[in-house]
């Protein structure tokens, strides 16, 4: 984020008496870290009231980020406060906030801070940086330009955003600056070990049994380069793992040597399949997700296909093969 962007945002927020903070539905580490870091600064350093409202509950592994349960779901907002500005993190379109969208008052300014490749520029101010490894990096820049005090808890929130959104510094989006920024956050009080313990080493035994089941059905195609995992809803329920706690499961596809594109398909209903896509080369999985009305990044994307799980898997396998061929041609 440039200094001028931070100044424009500050100017737009200056007259606001109370603001609404939101992010994409089904919160992840980056969206939570951005919102909670910003909230702490806004309410304790600027001393202005704010509310965080998210569609979808917080996955178990990220609950430690919000010990005071500051994040509300739209249904918890009984009497809507008078919000006079809205700040939205990590949304490529306003629809990505899900049911929180209906809470946004008509005509109020919206600040859109995002790092997705494609963004519909839905804000009054749009600050989009697809080179940012995490949206948390943009929030850090903004707070520094505003001369905010980066407290240990703000540092921890922003470190959570960066560690999780870079896949623990694995994705191509990781740069020397990402590591320097993380070092800076550690000096300011972020505890990377504690956050890794919570996010990566806190599975329930049932979760591992579900993992065992899903991995036993792994389907590898395209000469070993594509791996699909599938999960029927009845099986998920049998293991007692909520849908929101399945983030990260798709990563196992890429643990296989030679696999370049992986997908996890989860049955949402008889004709509804949620797809998470990941790649480790130049295969553009955002392009695949876009075919079904979704989106995301070059190496991580998501969408919902209106087909039964097995049919969705067949259709997706072909779409991935086509995307891989077109990325080969353009190389
Ligand atoms: P997922 O694996 O579904 O959690 O999503 C991976 C990435 O794709 C994240 O950066 C999401 O923000 C993005 N994404 C997932 N679903 C959608 C969607 N329907 N529209 C736009 N972006 C999405
Ligand atoms: Mn992100």
**Which of 122, 300, 305 is the pocket-test mutation for ligand 1 (most atoms within 8 Å of CB)?**
300
End-to-end, the C-alpha distance of the chain in Å comes to: 30
Helix (H, G, I), strand (E, B) or coil at 136: helix
Tell me the HSE value of 164 on the side-chain side, using a 13 A CA sphere.
27
Give the integer Cα–Cα distance in Å for 213 and 202. Answer: 19
For every residue of 222-274, DSSP letters joined together read GGGTEEEEEE-HHHHHHHT--GGGGTTGGGGGGGSTT--EEEEEEEEETTEEE
Instruction: Express as a percent the part of the chain with pLDDT over 70.
Output: 99
Q: Are residues 121 and 217 in the same domain?
A: no
Q: Are residues 42 and 183 in the same domain?
A: yes
Side-by-side strand order, sheet with 110-114: 71-72, 50-53, 19-23, 85-89, 110-114, 125-128
How many domains are there within the chain?
2
pLDDT at 158: 98
CA nearest 136: which of 157, 152, 151?
157
Give the integer Cα–Cα distance in Å for 161 and 34. Answer: 7
- Ligand 1 contacts CB of residue 119 (under 6 A): no
Q: Are residues 235 and 295 in the same domain?
A: yes
CA nearest 173: which of 204, 132, 202?
132
CB atoms within 10 A of CB 184: 16
- Per-residue pLDDT tens over the stretch 241-264: 999 999 999 999 999 999 999 999
Q: Are residues 174 and 221 in the same domain?
A: no
CB neighbour list of residue 223: distance below 8 Å, 6 or more residues apart:
none
Q: Are residues 278 and 160 in the same domain?
A: no
Query: Could you say which of 141, 175, 200 is where a domain stops?
Result: 200
Q: Are residues 186 and 211 in the same domain?
A: no
Range of 133's domain?
Answer: 3-200
Q: Are residues 92 and 216 in the same domain?
A: no
Q: Are residues 223 and 304 in the same domain?
A: yes
- Ligand 1 contacts CB of residue 297 (under 6 A): yes
Where residue 213 sits, what CATH number does that domain have? 3.10.310.30
Tokens 């909520």 sit on residue: 242
Q: Are residues 44 and 173 in the same domain?
A: yes
3-state helix, strand, coil in the chain (%, to 5): 45, 20, 35
Query: Could you say which of 177, 200, 223 is where a domain stops?
Result: 200
Q: Are residues 256 and 138 in the same domain?
A: no
Expressed in angstroms and rounded, the spacing between residue 157 Cα and the centre of ligand 1 is 21
Q: Are residues 27 and 136 in the same domain?
A: yes
How far does Cα 67 stand from its chain's mean position?
20
Query: Could you say which of 200, 215, 245 is where a domain stops?
Result: 200
- Per-residue pLDDT tens over the stretch 188-202: 999 999 999 999 999
Helix (H, G, I), strand (E, B) or coil at 72: strand
Q: Are residues 219 and 161 in the same domain?
A: no
CB neighbour list of residue 285: distance below 8 Å, 6 or more residues apart:
261, 277, 278, 279, 296, 297, 298, 299, 300, 301, 320, 323
Expressed in angstroms and rounded, the spacing between residue 266 Cα and the centre of ligand 1 is 14
Where residue 110 sits, what CATH number does that domain have? 3.90.1640.10
pTM for the full predicted model: 0.92
Expressed in angstroms and rounded, the spacing between residue 90 Cα and the centre of ligand 1 is 10
- Per-residue pLDDT tens over the stretch 282-324: 889 999 999 999 999 888 999 999 999 999 999 999 999 999 8
Tokens of 106: 């008509």
Band of residue 331 on the pLDDT scale cut at 50, 70, 90: low
**Which of 61, 302, 305 is the pocket-test mutation for ligand 1 (most atoms within 8 Å of CB)?**
302
């Amino acid at each position: 984020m440039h200094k001028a962007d931070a100044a424009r945002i500050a100017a737009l927020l200056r007259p606001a008496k109370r603001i609404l903070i939101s992010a994409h539905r089904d919160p992840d580490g980056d969206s939570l870290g951005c919102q909670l870091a910003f909230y702490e600064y806004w309410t304790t350093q600027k001393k202005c009231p704010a509310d965080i409202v998210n569609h979808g509950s917080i996955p178990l592994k990220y609950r430690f980020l919000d010990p005071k349960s500051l994040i509300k779901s739209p249904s918890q907002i009984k009497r809507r406060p008078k919000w006079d500005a809205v700040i939205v993190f990590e949304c490529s379109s306003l629809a990505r906030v899900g049911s929180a969208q209906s809470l946004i008052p008509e005509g109020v300014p919206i600040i859109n801070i995002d790092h997705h490749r494609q963004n519909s520029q839905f804000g009054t101010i749009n600050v989009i940086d697809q080179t940012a490894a995490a949206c948390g990096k943009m929030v850090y820049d903004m707070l520094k330009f505003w001369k905010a005090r980066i407290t240990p808890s703000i540092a921890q929130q922003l470190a959570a955003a960066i560690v999780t959104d870079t896949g623990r510094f694995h994705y191509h989006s990781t740069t020397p600056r990402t590591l320097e920024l993380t070092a800076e956050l550690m000096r300011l009080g972020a505890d990377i070990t504690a956050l890794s313990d919570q996010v990566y080493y806190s599975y329930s035994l049932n979760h591992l049994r579900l993992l065992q089941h899903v991995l036993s059905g792994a389907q590898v195609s395209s000469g070993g380069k594509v791996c699909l995992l599938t999960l029927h809803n009845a099986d998920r329920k049998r293991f007692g793992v909520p849908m929101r706690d399945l983030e990260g499961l798709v990563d196992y596809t890429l643990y296989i040597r030679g696999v370049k594109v992986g997908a996890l398909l989860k049955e949402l209903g008889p004709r509804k399949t949620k797809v998470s896509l990941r790649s480790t080369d130049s295969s553009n999985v955002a392009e695949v997700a876009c075919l079904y009305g979704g989106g995301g990044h070059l190496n991580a994307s998501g969408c919902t296909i209106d087909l039964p799980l097995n049919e969705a898997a067949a259709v997706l396998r072909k779409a991935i093969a086509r995307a891989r061929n077109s990325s080969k041609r353009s190389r």
